[in-house]
């Protein structure tokens, strides 16, 4: 019985350790960003949003085209904490701010248009 418990413990520990070998440190443009949401439209292209606490808490949108290995900040002009991001294809995307404002985009995250306000 003791041998079975030891074997089980060794198996669990080895499985736990090997399961985390796939994790890698990524390279966001500024690690100070407080990111809130991420959305990928395929295995390589995705966006993450949040705020920059060192820049008057302006909205932050970053994009990757290599599966998250590298990220580029997109200047959004949005001055509020961004809560959620969703892209429906490579060009059309939406973000929602903390005050319920929705922002719409038609050019892969480069320019954002304020849409109708919602509830908090």
Per-residue pLDDT of the chain (120 residues; tens, 9 = 90+): 555 444 444 445 454 444 455 666 565 555 556 888 999 999 999 999 988 777 777 888 899 999 988 888 888 788 888 889 999 998 999 999 887 888 888 888 888 888 865 554
The pLDDT of residue 85: 93
* CB within 8 Å of 45: residues ≥ 6 apart: 63, 64, 65, 90
Alpha helices for the chain (secondary structure H): 2-19
How much is the CA Rg of the chain, to the nearest whole Å?
20
The pLDDT of residue 64: 93
């Amino acid at each position: 019985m003791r041998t079975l418990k030891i074997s089980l413990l060794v198996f669990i520990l080895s499985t736990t350790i090997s399961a985390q070998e796939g994790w890698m440190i990524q390279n966001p443009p500024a690690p100070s960003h407080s990111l809130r949401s991420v959305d990928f439209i395929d295995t390589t292209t995705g966006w993450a949003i949040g705020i920059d606490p060192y820049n008057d808490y302006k909205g932050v949108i970053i994009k990757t085209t290599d599966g998250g290995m590298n990220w580029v900040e997109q200047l959004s002009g949005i001055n509020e904490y961004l809560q959620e991001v969703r892209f429906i294809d490579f060009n059309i995307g939406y973000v929602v701010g903390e005050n319920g404002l929705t922002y719409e985009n038609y050019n892969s995250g480069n320019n954002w248009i304020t849409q109708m306000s919602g509830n908090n």
